[in-house]
Amino acid sequence: MKSFKNFIGGNWVPPIGGEYFENVNPADLSDTIGRFPMSGSADVELAVASAQRGFEVWRATPAPARGDVMRRIGDLMVKRKDEIADLMTREMGKPLTETRGDVQEGIDTAYYAATEGRRLFGHTVPSEMKNKWAMSFRRPIGVAGIITPFNFPMAIPTWKMFPALLCGNACIFKPAEDVPETGHVLVEIMLEAGLPPEVIQLVHGLGESAGAAIVNHPGIPVISFTGSTETGRIVGEVCGRMHKRLSLEMGGKNAQIVFNDADLDLALEGVLWGAFGTTGQRCTATSRLVLQDGIHDELLSRLIDRARALKLGDGRKKGTDVGPMINEAAVKKVERYVDIGQGENADLVCGGRRPSGKGMDNGYFFEPTIFARVQAGMRLEQEEIFGPVLSVLRFRTTDEAFAINNDVKYGLSSSVYTKDVNVSMRAMNELDNGITYINAPTIGAEAHLPFGGVKQTGNGHREGGWEVYDFYSETKVGYLDFSGALQRAQIDNYLGTPD
Ligand code: UN1
């Protein structure tokens, strides 16, 4: 079996404890991809010491030169796009079209970061005083701990690490244990592109051990975490106690609202992609479909027909629409919610079980599942499932639909299908989400815009776009007084104060 290593201290090294975990293809459990280091706090200790050395080198490298490295990373990813997509599908299951998109998001992020190396704007503003200048500029912070999930194995690590690196920080990267090979290849590419070796450390392992060691280490002042709201809360508590800067990206319970006047063909394509793409394992997945009275029955019946016809299978095979889930625990969680939904008297109208058929019992497959007659407030309607389960609700008025959208503890994305410009603009204003799509599904974020959500989806930060560069840099202000006199702010103001 192929054995992989960590990248710590500028070298590919085995884990100090000598333990490994196996990485298996979720579409074919007889296909083992390799064994990966089960790292712990001793490995993290070495990684921190090395990253601190790397940081000293990297912070002294001009930002445009750091941007050049990002550009070369992008170029290498372009060259290896299909190869990476294939290995990504093998280790996490989603079809090749989707993994190609995932790599493309990494490429877009790299090129965006490259150009940001020549911007990284501060401000120059007038001073209250004569002959005095006032300005703000950015400084890097130090070592950033990057902890990422399995569902976007390239997009999410890149949209955290490239901005962190561009700003001059060093990174310690722990990819999810379900997608370690994609993490391995990403680090390989970063090194080949010319990133100084100690600027990046790759530490494989589980969240409870390797991840916890990173979060708890005092030498890592910045943490970026994407995962469940439950784990995010623990990460947040530790970072709060330790005064760390923290960006959290967590759960979602995203709704697609369809009005009577909507283009139903478009809405149907949107919900199929939003709910069952990536087998529903996205924080941006559509897990609630909110239909207006007049089109409810027609759209629901067309949706059931189309969902039943989706082809489950190996994402590397032509014709597969929906791949497997990531692991047994994920399937069990979905099964639990199917029971919960039935217990709440929602109507199971499609799927709801592991499929039978050739090869299906050799992978973590689950049928696209639809519950109709779901009521606002049911657990099925409130809680994140992270699987191919869609709840369908009915509404009469715009106010009612918006209230359903907003009455959950999450607030990542929302989607509204209508031709009415007034309703569209009201949705933009009134829906409590970080992202609202009009006539497009709940997924589709682009790399150059801020990504993130409100309420318990996040903690106020955004990834992607220009905002993430604020998270990874410390603002410093400089005042330069060339008057040759003591000028007291707020006191020797040129306007004077009337006596
Ligand atoms: C996620 O849902 O976990 O929103 C991330 C999108 C993607 C990122 C999704 N680019 O379209």
Q: How far, in Å, from the CA of 227 to the mean position of ligand 1? A: 13
Q: Which amino acid is at 5?
A: K
Q: Is the pLDDT of residue 397 over 60?
A: yes
Say what the pLDDT of residue 494 is.
Answer: 56
Average pLDDT over residues 322-328: 98
Q: Is the pLDDT of residue 452 over 60?
A: yes
Ligand 1 pocket check: which of 148, 284, 410 to mutate, most ligand atoms within 8 Å of Cβ? 284
% of residues, the chain, pLDDT over 70: 99
Assessment of whether the complete model's pTM goes beyond 0.85: yes
Cβ of 378 closer than 6 Å to ligand 1, yes or no, is no
Nearest CA to ligand 1 atom 11: 444
Three-state secondary structure call for residue 294? helix
Rounded to the nearest integer, the mean pLDDT of the chain is 97
Strands across the sheet containing 473-481:
123-126, 132-140, 473-481
Cβ of 284 closer than 6 Å to ligand 1, yes or no, is yes
Ligand 1 pocket check: which of 410, 413, 443 to mutate, most ligand atoms within 8 Å of Cβ? 443
Q: How far, in Å, from the CA of 105 to the mean position of ligand 1? A: 10
Q: How far, in Å, from the CA of 2 to the mean position of ligand 1? A: 31
Q: Which residues of the chain are in CATH 3.40.309.10 domains?
A: 254-438
Nearest CA to ligand 1 atom 9: 284
Rounded to whole angstroms, how far apart are CA atoms 337 and 369? 11
Say what the pLDDT of residue 496 is.
Answer: 55
Q: Which residues of the chain are in CATH 3.40.605.10 domains?
A: 6-250+458-477
Q: What is the DSSP letter of 187?
A: H
Average pLDDT over residues 451-458: 97
Average pLDDT over residues 201-220: 98
Convert the pLDDT of each residue in 149-165 to its tens digit: 999 999 999 999 999 99
pLDDT band at 495 (very low <50, low <70, confident <90, very high): low
Q: How far, in Å, from the CA of 177 to the mean position of ligand 1? A: 19
Relative to beta strand 473-481, strand 132-140 is: antiparallel
Q: What is the DSSP letter of 322?
A: B
Q: What is the CATH number of domain 6-250+458-477?
A: 3.40.605.10
Q: Which atom of ligand 1 is nearest to the CA of 451?
A: 4
pLDDT band at 305 (very low <50, low <70, confident <90, very high): very high
Say what the pLDDT of residue 476 is.
Answer: 98
Q: Is the pLDDT of residue 445 over 60?
A: yes
Q: Which residue has the higher pLDDT, 181 or 493?
A: 181
In CATH, the architecture of 254-438 is: 3-Layer(aba) Sandwich (3.40)
Instruction: Kindly state the tokens that stand for 334.
Output: 């979905």
Q: How far, in Å, from the CA of 306 to the mean position of ligand 1? A: 23
Q: Is the pLDDT of residue 60 over 90?
A: yes
Cβ of 282 closer than 6 Å to ligand 1, yes or no, is yes
The set of catalytic residues is 249, 283
Q: How far, in Å, from the CA of 384 to the mean position of ligand 1? A: 15
The answer to whether the beta carbons of residues 463 and 451 sit under 8 Å apart is yes
Nearest CA to ligand 1 atom 7: 445
Average pLDDT over residues 230-236: 97
Cβ of 152 closer than 6 Å to ligand 1, yes or no, is yes
Rounded to whole angstroms, how far apart are CA atoms 210 and 217? 11
Convert the pLDDT of each residue in 326-378 to its tens digit: 999 999 999 999 999 999 999 999 999 999 988 899 999 999 999 999 999 99
Say what the pLDDT of residue 358 is.
Answer: 85
Average pLDDT over residues 472-485: 97
Cβ of 443 closer than 6 Å to ligand 1, yes or no, is yes
Cβ of 94 closer than 6 Å to ligand 1, yes or no, is no
Q: Is the pLDDT of residue 216 over 60?
A: yes
Cβ of 444 closer than 6 Å to ligand 1, yes or no, is yes
Say what the pLDDT of residue 492 is.
Answer: 84
Convert the pLDDT of each residue in 75-132 to its tens digit: 999 999 999 999 999 999 999 999 999 999 999 999 999 999 999 999 999 999 999 9
Instruction: Kindly state the tokens that stand for 214.
Output: 């990173």
